[in-house]
Structure 1
Amino acid sequence: MKQDSAEALALNILAWLVGDDDLLPTFLGSTGMDGAELRARAGEAEVLSAVLDFLMMNDEWVNRWADETQGDPMGVMRARQALPGGEQVNWT
């Protein structure tokens, strides 16, 4: 997957995440961002990587995103690998 495709998928996931009243506060808490900072930085590769890292913390979240958006759950991992730092992801 190329970086621009990975960023597009991460933005799609971010949009889904923003619509989830349960997960969004958890994501914001884990990143230390508030809603205003998230809006301002949403297109940055670092934030998009954080979105993918967060989603991949829980298989249920990945599968729920995939079910609700008809997305490819394996695409999340491929997208993360295409973004900066993805080649060094620790999957443990």
Structure 2
Amino acid sequence: MRQEGAGAETVAIGALGWIAGDAELLSTFLGSSGLMPEDLRRRAGEPEVLAAVLDFLLLDDAWVIAFCDSAGLGYDRVRQARAALPGAAPDWG
């Protein structure tokens, strides 16, 4: 299933699901974001949390590649989605 036209929020929610599917990676994300599991469940749809998910994913090219492969996305789609969410660096667009 190709999702090239997917919106930024859809990409980020997919990335969160992908991260959550790996207990070790989820633990690393929670530790780096400072979120508690209950906070993540409650706030998962908030733009700031979605941006944090993509920021985390973008820390490692291997994560980006694995997520994009699993979601049927082009490798640049994560960076494009991040640029569309709050707090993106000006050169991300």
Tell me which protein shows more helix as a share of its residues: 1
* Contact 2:11-2:81 within 8 A present in 1 as well: yes
Deviation at 1:8, TM superposition (A): 1.0
1:23 match: secondary structure: helix
Deviation at 1:89, TM superposition (A): 6.2
Deviation at 1:70, TM superposition (A): 2.2
Unaligned runs of 5+ in 2: 1-5
Unaligned runs of 5+ in 1: none
Identify which of 11, 30, 37 aligns with 1:9.
Answer: 11
Give the Cα–Cα distance (whole angstroms) in 1 for the partners of residues 31 and 51 of structure 2.
16
Who is 2:70 aligned against? 68
Identify which of 9, 21, 24 aligns with 1:22.
Answer: 24
Which 4+ stretches in 1 moved above 4 angstroms?
Answer: none
Tell me the amino acid that sits aligned with residue 20 of structure 1.
Answer: D
Sequence identity (%)? 47
Q: How many residues align?
A: 87
Instruction: Tell me how large the CA RMSD over aligned residues is.
Output: 1.7
* Cα distance per residue 1:39-78 (max 9 Å; x no partner): 0000000000000000000001101112222222210000
